[in-house]
Amino acid sequence: MAVRIGVIGAGAIGKDHARRINQVLTGAQIVAVSDVSAQNAAALKADVAPQASVFASGEDLIASGNVDAVLVTSWGATHEQYVLAAIAAGKPCFCEKPLATTADGARRIVEAEVAFGRRLVQVGFMRRYDAGYRLLKDVVDSQIGTPLMVHAAHRNPSVPESYVTPMGIHDTLIHEIDVFRWLLDDDYVSAQVVFPRTSSLSHAKLRDPQIVLLETAKGVRIDVEIFVNCQYGYDIQCQVVGEQGLANLPEPMAIQMRKNASLQTPIMTDWKPRFIDSYDVELQDFINAAATGTASGPSSWDGYAAAVTSDACVKAQEQSGAIIPIDLPVRPILYA
């Protein structure tokens, strides 16, 4: 029987995930939707899930006997309450990043899941499912010797006026924070943020670009450039330098043209198509695990580790230049 999924948060990504569950993936169906915006809930239902019931609140949706599993795609600050309610109801829950907006919030989720005694939560860190990152991980694990350094960049052509400096960490860098823990099988011990000259295309509340320096427990040094007004495209770069070679994240597939006396390869300008396949794979993984009453993939613990790191990075922004220690408690056995 198909897993009956309810989606809380019918905005951009909620609607897109609902579309892929109903139209692309197998083994599940969107049966319920809830959003503080009745208009957004109605639009999701009309456009991609005509059979779904609309619930007045996320809590009502989670409690419904017709809902087997929950997708939390509302604004970040609302994730914790819904994930905790899903755990209390014993229902598998896919939560978009961030798991919670504070490390304390993420820790409460870890504690609730550990007390429940079985994994129920998957966090939407989709890069772990990206074919390029998976190839890179194979090479890092087997071809280039011990990893020593990572050079990375996360660039967006532009961001809305509402995007402010700390969002460089919890909206943008959060993906690198997670994917490098996974890629290197390591944890962070410190963070530092330095600001180069600010782009004149930024605004008063956004220092852009910024450079984040992370150090891992095994001594790997990672530098990530976050540049969200870079103008030219959406560009994700990652190079791992090992003792015996280096490996680059593959560029997304694109046609190379010879035209107008130049050699051209287009670069994406929107983040949505960049990881479109990985969104499909992560959600199929969620459906498959939910069918057996559990969850796999990036866990609450990964969401917590990302939140602790993210808090340290924001502190490092506020005290630019200072090295902020990152301390994770012992990982509970549930996440071994």
- Footprint on this chain of ligand ISE (rule: CB under 6 A): 156, 171-172, 175, 271
Secondary structure, 3-state, 257-321? EEECCEEECCCCCCHHHHCHHHHHHHHHHHHHHHCCCCCCCCCHHHHHHHHHHHHHHHHHHHCCC
Question: Distance between alpha carbon 134 and the CA centroid of its chain, in Å?
Answer: 16
Q: Closer to ligand ISE at the Cβ: 156 or 310?
A: 156
For residues 136 and 128, what is the distance between their CA atoms, to the nearest angstrom?
11
Question: Segment 240-259, which members bind ligand NAI (CB under 6 A)?
Answer: none
Segment lying near ligand NAI (by CB under 6 A), choices 10-18, 205-213, 217-225, 308-316 = 10-18
Question: Phi and psi for 330 in degrees, rounded to 5?
Answer: -65, 140
Least distance from C-beta 278 to ligand ISE, angstroms? 10
Least distance from C-beta 156 to ligand ISE, angstroms? 5
For residues 71 and 91, what is the distance between their CA atoms, to the nearest angstrom?
10
Q: Closer to ligand NAI at the Cβ: 126 or 220?
A: 126
Least distance from C-beta 274 to ligand NAI, angstroms? 9
For residues 293 and 56, what is the distance between their CA atoms, to the nearest angstrom?
25
Least distance from C-beta 259 to ligand ISE, angstroms? 29
By CB under 6 A, tell whether 12 contacts ligand NAI.
yes
Q: Closer to ligand ISE at the Cβ: 271 or 335?
A: 271
Cβ contacts of residue 314 below 8 Å, gap of 6+? Answer: 166, 169, 170
At 214, is the secondary structure helix, strand, or coil?
A: strand
> Which structure tokens are listed for 310?
């993210």
Number of neighbouring beta carbons within 10 Å of residue 276: 15
Q: Closer to ligand ISE at the Cβ: 20 or 175?
A: 175
Q: Closer to ligand NAI at the Cβ: 87 or 100?
A: 100
By CB under 6 A, tell whether 124 contacts ligand NAI.
yes
Q: Closer to ligand NAI at the Cβ: 49 or 126?
A: 126
At 175, is the secondary structure helix, strand, or coil?
A: helix
By CB under 6 A, tell whether 56 contacts ligand NAI.
no
Q: Where are the beta strands (DSSP E) in 138-220?
A: 147-155, 188-194, 210-216
Question: Segment 142-201, which members bind ligand NAI (CB under 6 A)?
Answer: 171
Segment lying near ligand NAI (by CB under 6 A), choices 72-80, 135-143, 214-222, 232-240 = 72-80
Q: Closer to ligand NAI at the Cβ: 13 or 334?
A: 13
> Which structure tokens are listed for 72?
């939390």
Least distance from C-beta 111 to ligand ISE, angstroms? 26
Least distance from C-beta 217 to ligand NAI, angstroms? 26
Residues near ligand NAI, by CB under 6 A: 8-14, 34-37, 40, 58, 73-76, 78, 96-97, 124, 126, 171
